[in-house]
Amino acid sequence: MSIVGKEAYEEAITKGETEFAGYRLQASFFRSLSAAHPLIEAKRFAGDVLLVHGSSDPDIPAEYSFLYQKVFRMRPEGGLCDKEIITHADHAFSTRGHAAHAIRHTVQWLKHKDSRKAGWYGWEI
């Protein structure tokens, strides 16, 4: 509700759906959120992870990325977990520069993740 606002939330609950940022959000979406436990689910995910977060995200503090990175790195069976904090970016990377940074970093990470795993993957000092 903090992201879409109380009015949009109440509209979805009473009328069945609301529109936010060009998306139709149904009441069932909001009800499903109370059952979501992302940190618990993160522990179960065994794939590689890239966290990209804006330092000026007003909805979800960038500090959460550090918590998620710790959870992903502590998985008994998991892949890589890297994090990129984009300075001054908001929740949706709304400026052209921030969006380009997020996309560029993601593409670079995808291109090089397999070669990183072959070398020093899993080593700690």
Q: Is residue 124 part of a domain?
A: no
- List per-residue pLDDT tens for the chain, 125 residues long: 788 999 999 999 999 999 998 899 999 999 998 888 999 999 999 999 999 999 999 989 999 999 999 999 999 888 889 999 999 999 999 999 999 999 999 999 999 987 776 665 556 55
125 assigned to some structural domain: no
Does 8 share its domain with 55? no
Domain-embedded: residue 17: yes
Do residue 56 and residue 16 come from a single domain?
A: no
Do residue 78 and residue 95 come from a single domain?
Answer: yes
* Token pair listed for 110: 């995808």
49 and 97 share one domain:
yes
Q: What is the pLDDT of residue 123?
A: 61
What does the pLDDT read at residue 3? Answer: 86
Task: Write down the pLDDT at residue 83.
Answer: 97
User: Which residues form the domain of 47?
Assistant: 38-118
Q: Where are the alpha helices (DSSP H) in 25-95?
A: 27-33, 38-44, 63-73
Distance from chain centroid for Cα 104: 16
CB 27 within 8 A of CB 16: yes
Residue 79 is predicted with a pLDDT of 84
Question: What gap in Å lies between CA 39 and CA 71, rounded to an integer?
Answer: 7
What residues pair up with 82 in beta bridges, in sequence order?
A: 50
Query: What is d(CA 110, CA 113) in angstroms, rounded to the nearest whole number?
Result: 6
Same domain, 22 and 47: no
18 and 76 co-located in one domain = no
Question: What pLDDT is stored for residue 58 in this prediction?
Answer: 92
Domain assignment of residue 14, yes or no:
yes
Residue 60 placed within a domain: yes
CA distances from 95 to 39, 87, 91, 118 (A): 29, 12, 11, 36
